[in-house]
Amino acid sequence: MSDKVSSLIDITERDWSADDFWENFRQIERITLELSQRYHYSLGKQSRFFIELANRRFFATACAGCGQVYAPPRPLCPACLQPSEWRELTGEGSLETWSTLHFSPGTNADVAALQRPYVLAYVLLDGADTLFPHLLRAEGLCLRRGLRVRVAYNDGPVSHPIHLMCFVPA
């Protein structure tokens, strides 16, 4: 944390009323502060999903109690509060909804490197009961609900293991 720049804001130009309540406090200084953190971040019981992406395999979780298949995985089925089982999916599915994003938050190096606009897609993977959110690389293609897509893998290096995959048209 450091103060690098200091500036005085000129607010004397303001149209002050005769009985300004804050007349003794018209000088305002603004400084620049910086704060950055590095997290040693555990992906916890979701970890196998990310580990298997490097092996070009896509895993969801299935609940033995209610049969719900969650992608992204849920170690604990929220409906049954029972531990799930890992289940491999083919990585193919269909596009349910999407948005084309013209601004990037630059969340990590992979997101910062994205060509804009990029497509945030929600995909119903074959064999899953939930929608999986990820980037859909389909430059020039007219998107429509029901479009068949598949997971495409890469070997990295990536800033976050979720970027070892994205969706592409099947």
**Per-residue x/- track, 136-165, other proteins (CB under 8 A):** ---------x--------------x-xx--
Query: Of 58 and 132, which has the nearer Cβ to other proteins?
Result: 132
33 makes contact with other proteins (CB under 8 A): yes
At 148, the amino acid letter reads R
Is residue 5 involved in binding other proteins (CB under 8 A)? no
Query: Does residue 66 interact with Zn ion by CB under 5 A?
Result: yes
* Two structure tokens written together for 29: 């200084």
One-character DSSP codes across 68-127 = -EESS--SB-TTT--B-EEEEE-SEEEEEEEEEESS----SHHHHTPPSSEEEEEEEETT
Strands 165-169 and 148-153, by their bridges, are: antiparallel
Binding of other proteins by 30 (CB under 8 A):
yes
Residue 40 interacting entry, from Zn ion, other proteins, none, C-beta within 5 to 8 Å by type:
none
Binding site for Zn ion (CB under 5 A): 63, 65-66, 77, 79-80
Binding site for other proteins (CB under 8 A): 9, 11, 21-22, 26, 28, 30, 33, 35, 43, 46, 70, 72, 96-108, 110-111, 114, 117-118, 120, 122, 124, 129-135, 145, 160, 162-163
